[in-house]
Amino acid sequence: MLTHQHKLMNKKCLGLTETYNKTILVIQSCKTENQLEGASRMVKNFKALYKEVGYPRALSYSLDRAIKIKKL
């Protein structure tokens, strides 16, 4: 049986995964420089939000890399 704390951790992980996937989709859908600037702000907000609860740094690098690739 899962404790209340385990249930909350699972919800946070699910939220993190969903938010990360949505952020990647936004980056990939950018077609203009203005859209990419908005996506960059979204990445910044993602990092600020999930820094509080802790998240794998690999996600941060992955988002930065996706922005960099899209700029090319």
DSSP string, 5-45: HHHHHHHHHHHHHHHHHHHHHHHHH--SHHHHHHHHHHHHH
Going from the C-alpha of 34 to that of each of 12, 26, 51, the distances in angstroms are 31, 12, 26
- Retrieve residue 68's tokens: 């960099």
- Residue 52 confidence (pLDDT) above 50: yes
- Domain membership of residue 62 (yes or no) is yes
Residue 32 lies in a domain: yes
Domain hosting residue 54, numbered range: 27-72
The domain total for the chain is 1
Residue 5 lies in a domain: no
Q: Is residue 11 part of a domain?
A: no
Look up the pTM and report it.
Answer: 0.74
- Report residue 69 CA to chain centroid gap: 16
Least confident of 14-18, 26-30, 35-39, 41-45: 14-18
- Is residue 31 a part of any domain in this protein? yes
- Over the stretch 19-35, which tens digit does the pLDDT of each residue have? 899 999 999 999 999 99
Average pLDDT, the chain: 82
The answer as to whether 15 is a domain residue is no
CA angle 2, 12, 3 (to 5 degrees): 15
Tens digits of per-residue pLDDT, 4-15?
A: 444 444 555 558
